[in-house]
Amino acid sequence: MSSDWKVEIVECGDLVQDNDEVTPPGEAERRWNRYVELADSVTGSEGPDGVAAIVSSLRAEEDYGAYQAAHAALNRFPHPDLGKGVAMAARGLFSIPKDGSGNVLLILVRAGSVAVNSFNEAMRSVDAAVQREMRELVEFHESEEWLSDEGVRNVLLTPRG
């Protein structure tokens, strides 16, 4: 897929919320439908950049079920690409709603050791401030619901920067 796809999925991921009074009628439905169409079109061959685009698209507080398509798309990526792509999207993970980041991290952990090792390796080479924020995010999700269960706790390395 082209880089246009990556830009468009991020734009469409900013789903119109119920309290929005400025978006023209029909735009919310159009954007929701297009987002699901873009996510459903993912084959997994889009590489780590594709993973990063999907993660960065998960910006809305209420997704009205659209993000299920994005989560399914993440599961279609080869595990090394999934891990590296999530690490590439680290800054995006910090700015999306907590349920979104928790879900992404859980998908990553459940994908298995290849995905986790790829993520951990990629995180070693990012800026110390990003490592610190990722450590805080992982610790938050380990203390809450997303990464609190046995088998998914203490799996993601949180390097000390």
- The domain limits of the chain are 3-143
18-72, pLDDT tens digit by residue?
A: 888 888 878 899 999 999 999 999 999 999 999 999 999 999 999 999 999 999 9
User: What is the overall mean pLDDT for the chain?
Assistant: 91
pLDDT of residue 2: 61
Is the entire prediction scored with pTM above 0.85? yes
Alpha helices in 19-127, H assignment, sequence order: 27-40, 47-57, 67-74, 79-88, 90-95, 98-111, 113-124
